[in-house]
A and B are shown apart, each in its own frame.
Chain A
Amino acid sequence: MSTETQPGPGISGDDSLEAAHEKNRRVRRALFGCAAVTVVTTVAIFLVLFDNAASYFFGARISEVLFDGDSFARTITFTEFFTGTRWAPDHSTPAHGVLPIVWGTLAITIGAAFVSIPIGTATALYLSEYASTGTRNKLKPVLEVLAGVPTIVYGYFAVSFLTPVIVDGIASNVVNPAGTLLDSIAFLAPGLLEPAAEAMMGVSVGRYSLLAGVLVVGTMTIPMVSSISEDAMQAVPDDLRNGAYALGATKYQVSTRIVLPAAVSGIFASYILAVSRAIGETMAVTLAAGFNANLTANPFAEIMTMTAYLVSMARGTSAVGTVEYQSLFAVGLLLFLMTLSMNLLNDWMKRRYQEEYR
């Protein structure tokens, strides 16, 4: 609502009017400055990540080359980075293949999507089509609380409940009788932690597992799916529903054949948002899924996501200028680009569905 109406000139008619206009202009510039800060933030993220990541790949930061006259010397090739299958920049025999931690992130994200998408969509359908106003008013705040719980609490929940009770329960009661996975679990459980893990959990699943990470991240992204999908479903005009009901359709038919297809781009937008959150999620996956860069789909294995790598490096406070420090920014840049593309896709989807019914 940009009202360009300036107050009419000279009701009071004195010289202070010019001063007032001058003040208006100054305020306008200051407020524009505030708005510009948000753009500067994005630019700064790009520049800082690129600048530092450059020293990981080329041995010198772009700023150092520009201002101090350093020269680039290729240290880690893109081929090694993108196709190598071992990630251990801090190891005595370093390896710089980013695939294992990208895989860790994808495994968590895909797994979490299998939890949050069906459950979130079903919840949205229930709230939008089936639930009475009273139930709706009670259930929605609960979901908002689910979204408001800090991620560190989810991480704690994973460590103290999900892993010992659910994951270990599945492992010992369902998988172990089958037998095949038992050895790999015992092998993957980190030797140092095993006594503590056994004392805590009774049996043999390690302290960390992909499955626990999937469950917590899936749970915490349910509200994103359900809340935004429900908004999209609510935006479907009642005329469409009533038309179907007039033809004798049941609620099930209206839900699945009218509402879902009509709201599909809004619902997809919510999926993309949930996926984007899962990619960037840090504390829950760090505490639930662990720190072992592992190219495995075994749900009981410890894996490492990109965010978990960032946390593990920051915890060790690696010195500025070391390869470990620089690798933070290479991974951070990749993470940022992944979520950025998701966000752009989400934005595009949202605009599509808003156009349809307005």
Chain B
Amino acid sequence: MSTKRETEFLADVDLSREKLVNRLFHGLLVIASLFGLVMLVLLIADVIWESAQAFSNFDIDIGNFLTGTSSSRAGQAGFGASIIASLWLMALTAILAFVIAVGCALYLVEYAPENRTTRLIEANLANLAGVPSIVYGLLVLALIVNDAGMGSVILAGAIALALLVVPIIIVASIESIRAVPASVRDGSYAMGATKWQTVRRVVLPQAMPGILTGTILALARAIGETAPLIMVGTMLHATRYPDGPFASFSAMPTQIYSWTYQADRMFNGLAALGIVVLLTFLVVMYALAGYLRKRYEADGGSISNV
């Protein structure tokens, strides 16, 4: 320890070294943080590049692609039937999941007593949110497709997706129902309203924007899910338009999967185009959810914060 001057009492600390280490660490963190960004840019660029390649290398009729049914011959394959099937899936999933999820959230926030049953339900929700999506597919395959004899139909797929998104909608609903101030409820009770009248006419309308935002985000997750639908048993090619909940189907992501899986380069190009369509749906849904959230200024959690 070489003290040149008495005032320099921290002379054993090499300040410039400490600062260098700090700067290097800062740089390291920035580079690591950029990794995610770079991968995202690469991913989007790759999809766009492959779509452009498909257009320039093969004779793709965009009208037929958007409206046609799929085919085992790449030249005639379209994405329209898959889009329709995905819309059917979304509608049925929304109906099935919304009622159960909002009912469960209302029970937990407004009615549930503080007891063991309630704690069990809450702990179970955390568990359900972590169950791999393919397991829901397996459950529906055994219970509904085979044991109940429903077959591999759209409704079976929708049940699998609904089971998958219910925990997500419940979490979002609980947040927005909790955000309704107690004073609003008390005001309603002071007017002589019953509990249910208060919940239905006062709490629910106020919480609805937040609940809807959560539901849209959950549906955005559902529309991109592939594994449960494959387990339920989708067709390899969506060869006809689905005409109702009991039609066999291949939805957008499963059709993309089966095209990606083909060795034929043209099918890979079609898969890229399909991804563009799928991502467009997602962007629209995220934008809608963002708009709803801004408009009603519901301070919900972040998207990934399920």
Contact = CB atoms under 8 A, between A and B. Distances in A.
Given A35-B104, A161-B42, A343-B127, A123 B305 contact: no
B130 interface: yes
Size class of the contact patch on chain B = 35 or more
B304 A251 contact: no
A146 to B, nearest CB: 5
A54 interface: no
A175 interface: no
A161 B44 CA distance: 11
A190 B103 CA distance: 51
Nearest to B177: A1
B139 interface: yes
Contact of A156 (B30, B47, B302): B47
Interface in B31-59: 32-33, 35-37, 39-40, 42-43, 46-47, 50
A5 B110 CA distance: 11
Of the candidates A7, A24, A279, the one having the most CB atoms from chain B within 10 angstroms of its own CB is: A7
B126 A347 contact: yes
A45 B139 contact: yes
Given A38-B121, A151-B224, A339-B131, A160 B268 contact: yes
Contacts of A143: 36, 304
Contacts of B46: 157, 160-161
Contact of B142 (A48, A127, A161, A336): A48
The dominant DSSP class at the B interface is helix
Contacts of B263: 193, 196
Contacts of A127: 33
Given A31-B111, A130-B26, A148 B103 contact: no
B193 to A, nearest CB: 6
Contacts of A2: 109-114
B257 A219 contact: no
Interface string B252-276: 0100110011010100100110010
Given A31-B106, A37-B100, A252-B21, A146 B39 contact: yes
B201 interface: no
A328 B142 CA distance: 10
B131 A336 contact: yes
Of the candidates B120, B128, B135, B282, the one having the most CB atoms from chain A within 10 angstroms of its own CB is: B135
A30 B102 CA distance: 12
Given A250-B19, A339-B130, A156 B260 contact: yes
A48 B139 contact: yes
A265 B271 CA distance: 42
Contacts of B130: 273, 276, 339-340, 342-343, 346
A323 to B, nearest CB: 15
A21 interface: yes
A353 B128 CA distance: 21
Contact of B107 (A31, A125, A154): A31
Contacts of A32: 107, 111
B252 to A, nearest CB: 9
A346 B131 CA distance: 13
A346 B236 CA distance: 37
Those 4 A-B pairs whose CB atoms lie nearest each other, nearest first: A280-B132, A150-B224, A34-B103, A122-B32
Interface of B: 10, 13, 18-19, 21-22, 25-26, 28-30, 32-33, 35-37, 39-40, 42-43, 46-47, 50, 99-104, 106-114, 120-121, 123-128, 130-139, 141-143, 146, 163, 166-167, 170, 178, 182, 185, 189, 192-197, 199, 220-221, 223-227, 230-231, 233, 236, 253, 256-257, 260-261, 263, 265, 268, 271-272, 275, 278-279, 282, 286, 302-305
Given A152-B257, A283-B253, 17 more contacts: A7-B193, A12-B192, A23-B196, A24-B195, A36-B121, A48-B138, A118-B32, A126-B33, A151-B227, A159-B268, A193-B263, A227-B305, A248-B13, A252-B18, A273-B130, A314-B230, A329-B142
23 contacts: A21-B194, A30-B103, A31-B110, A38-B100, A38-B167, A48-B138, A122-B33, A130-B30, A144-B303, A147-B304, A148-B304, A151-B224, A156-B275, A159-B268, A160-B260, A231-B305, A251-B26, A253-B22, A282-B132, A311-B134, A320-B146, A339-B132, A344-B127
